[in-house]
Amino acid sequence: MLRMRCANDNHGRAVVTVRFCCTCGAVVNGAIRAKGCSELGHARMRRDRIVYCFDCGERVARAATGR
């Protein structure tokens, strides 16, 4: 498995409480089931500058790449 370069500290934690990393979208804890999300939840995440939903892994931010 390749380790992605990701600034999110989810990857380094011993106990991860979410399935997906909200920064790169990688699965950080496969033991946690993916949840179904509402658009409202994703809109809230978008406001919090979250790129990938940590519940379902879907991309919630539109233009995350590029500086």
Q: Which of 16, 20, 23, 51 binds Zn ion (CB under 5 A)?
A: 23
The answer to whether 50 contacts Zn ion (rule: CB under 5 A) is no
CA distance 38 to 29: 21
Choosing from 8, 19, 50, 51, the residue that interacts with Zn ion (CB under 5 A) is 8
- With beta carbons less than 8 A apart as the criterion, state whether 54 and 38 touch: no
18, 32, 34, 37: which one contacts Zn ion (CB under 5 A)? 37
Comparing CA positions, the residue from 34, 7, 36, 3 lying closest to residue 20 is: 34
**DSSP code of residue 17:** -
Residues that bind Zn ion (CB under 5 A): 6, 8, 21, 23-24, 37, 53, 55-56, 58
